[in-house]
Amino acid sequence: MHFHHHGYVSGDPRVQPAAGVGINRPAQLPDDVDVLIVGTGPAGMLTAAQLSQFPGVTTRIVERRGGRLAIGQADGIQARSVETFQAFGFAERIIAEAYRITEMAFWKPDPADHSRIVRAARAVDDPAGISEFPHLIVNQARVLDYFGEFMANSPARMAPDYGYEFRGLEVTGEGDYPVTVTLLRTSGPDEGREVTVKAKYVVGADGARSKVRESIGCTLAGDQANHAWGVMDVLANTDFPDIRTKCAIQSGSGGSILLIPREGGHLFRMYVDLGEVAPGDAGAVRSTTIEQIIAKANAIMHPYTLDVRNVAWHSVYEVGHRLTDRFDDVLPEERGTRTPRVFITGDACHTHSAKAGQGMNVSMQDGFNLGWKLGHVLEGRSPESLLATYSAERQVIAKNLIDFDKEWSTLMAKKPEEFNSPSELEDFYTSTAEFPAGFMTQYAPSMLVAEPAHQDLAAGFPIGKRFKSAPVVRVCDTNPLQLGHQAMADGRWRIYVFADAAAAGAPSPAAEFAEWLAGAPDSPLAATPEGADADAWFDVKVIYQQDHASLDIGAVPEVFKPQVGPFQLNYLEKVYATDPAADIFELRGIDRGGAVVVVRPDQYVANVLPLTATAELAAFFAPLLRTGHRAAELQDHAG
């Protein structure tokens, strides 16, 4: 954590100085905003949290409830999400309170007596070590609390505006605020009053029954629900031995349970198979009582019993897989003629079963993808064309998710005799582990993702996929660290310079690249507004092949040690050496001749280039950077 920029700080260093719109932030919802986010679910809160790092942008997030979510329906936190939490500064704290999944047990009918279940197999949750972060279970409400804390501590001092229900919007296309939104007060002394807000952009994060989606003419399309599940969070006594282990339980009668232990040591969740939904059911299955769900669970678990003492929450849902064909308000015939003004995220644009633990995780990545793009456009860093990439990138990912979930939920609902082999369920679980963990996402080439012309220079950083961390040693203080953990969700691009074999200070391709980066008019750093810190828009780090004891930090080029803050202090923490126990060049297949790895603000690799490819790097960033009055004006406003 880096602070003391403005002098000695006595207090919580996570609380950043207020700036821009965060200074004397009005408690009342303004008439005009840059971004209005509707809904405080995972997608909405992450989008808001990212935008809270842009204090020159007026962002407000509204919620129809009168206060914070008390009990969330989602609970599974995949490793990719924990990586994201690290960027927002709360991974360690949420890991400490969460339940950690390390194995999954598979229970099946006893071959000798199909009325009984027996443990048939165990599977390690992450056998390939795809992330240094764990797979967690923690209530959605706590995730939202952490994002809320981050927002409150950010320069924009953001907080949700509770008690506002979205009623409708109109994209007028007129003036500085071309979207007119109508809201209804649902709590407080003015309950029942209509409120009108004008916005530059609107983000609909208002769930599966999204009114924002409806207002832009999008509909969810896909498979009809045909299978029902009862879900319950309970405190109970049981003689079932794996009650604190994630389990897939299949009974001889055909019913099944997905058991998810919860945080806190006692609570657990069960998804209980209620069977096929009869044609013409018209939602009647949703009236299944908690007593019926508990009875069904006991029948499936025979010979074990479940004595439920307290029900924290329960529901009944039918599995359906739905997707919208676009995630913004630009119709197919309008593409290329205008940029989006309204976006939808999370369940508003994709719905699926809860049993793969993907809803909250994929929704948060929707928000991460969109948030920084809105910030860059509104702050004047990038052209509006950047916003068209949101729907193009995330719609494909949602389609892949739904295809995966169809297969997983179908397997979970199968009867034991319907499987092609006795181990089919656990084989699918282990062979596809990378997908639900969040690491199969790979964005296609676009204005944000380069063609893989030089991928061989850093094979372990596939272009379009998330930047996979690896150990390094920070030279200035000799601390061993994870390189990826040093990238915060601050809206900056990352340029990782993996140096050639020459020592720091010696003539080399890395030294020549550093000179170009610092002073060339076509360097991306040249777009940084005058008066801003040298690393305000780009976080440039260098990783040398030598061990830290062999490096002279004084000989390292100045572009890797920028002067920051009002006192222009040298920032020494961007210079790294290899960890002798785990050489990052070997781990990630980086060419010993050096390479440049460009990473987007949402942690996805955008380009891999040789150290000599300065013209290619300049050409990559040219359409993404926009300098001029607006950028300088907002920089002044922010700080």
pLDDT of residue 633: 46
Please give the Cα distance from 245 to 312 (Å, whole number).
19
CA dihedral angle for residue 478, residue 484, residue 489, residue 491, rounded to 10 degrees: 100
Least confident of 206-220, 223-237, 387-401, 523-537: 223-237
Q: Residue 397 carries which DSSP code?
A: H
CATH class of 20-90+138-221+322-413+420-431: alpha beta
SS3 assignment, position 18: coil
Nearest Cα residue to 157 out of 1, 9, 15? 15
- Has residue 628 got a pLDDT over 50? no
Residue 638 confidence (pLDDT): 45
pLDDT at residue number 281 = 78
Provide the residue ranges of all domains of the chain, joining segments of one domain with +.
Answer: 20-90+138-221+322-413+420-431, 99-135+225-319, 455-626
Classify residue 324 by its DSSP letter.
-
pLDDT tens across 375-420, in order?
999 999 999 999 999 999 999 988 888 888 777 777 777 777 788 8
The CATH code of domain 455-626 reads 3.40.30.20
For residue 575, what pLDDT is reported?
A: 98
In the predicted model, what is the mean pLDDT of residues 234-245? Answer: 98
Tokens for 198, please give them: 């004008």
More confident residue, 174 or 467: 467
* Cα first-last separation, the chain: 20
Q: How confident is the model at residue 353 (pLDDT cuts 50, 70, 90)?
A: low
* Spatial contact of 497 and 608, defined as CB atoms under 8 Å apart: no
Average pLDDT of the residues in 193-201: 98
Q: What is the pLDDT of residue 476?
A: 97
What is the mean pLDDT of the segment spanning 186-214?
A: 95
3-class secondary structure per residue, 43-64: HHHHHHHHHCCCCCCCEEEEEC
Dump pLDDT digits (tens) for 519-542. 999 999 999 999 999 999 999 999
Residue 518 dihedral angles phi and psi, to the nearest 5°:
-75, -30
Helix (H) or strand (E) holding 185: strand 179-185
- Is residue 82 scored above 90 in pLDDT? yes
Residue 548: predicted pLDDT: 96
pLDDT for the residue 574:
98
Strands (E), 127-207: 135-137, 161-162, 164-171, 179-185, 194-204
pLDDT reading at 370 higher than 80: yes
* pLDDT value for 221: 85
The pLDDT of residue 24 is above 60: yes
Phi and psi based region of residue 89 (left: phi greater than 0; alpha: psi -120 to 50; beta: remaining): left
Given pLDDT bands bounded at 50, 70 and 90, which one contains residue 422? confident
What's the confidence (pLDDT) of residue 632?
Answer: 43
The answer to whether the predicted template modeling score (pTM) of the entire model surpasses 0.85 is: yes
Q: What is the mean pLDDT of residues 163-184?
A: 96
CA distance 17 to 6: 9
Query: Which tokens hold the place of 147?
Result: 């994002």
User: Which CATH code fits 99-135+225-319?
Assistant: 3.30.9.10
DSSP output for 459-520: TTS-TTSB----EEEETTT--EEEGGGG--SSS-EEEEEE--SSPTTSSSHHHHHHHHHHH-
pLDDT greater at residue 277 or residue 372: 372
pLDDT in tens, 507-522: 999 999 999 999 999 9
pLDDT at 634 over 70: no
Q: What pLDDT, in 10s, does the model give residues 463-483?
A: 999 999 999 999 999 999 999
Position 193 confidence tier, pLDDT thresholds 50, 70, 90: very high
For residue 1, the model assigns a pLDDT of 75
Mean pLDDT, to the nearest integer, of 313-330?
Answer: 88
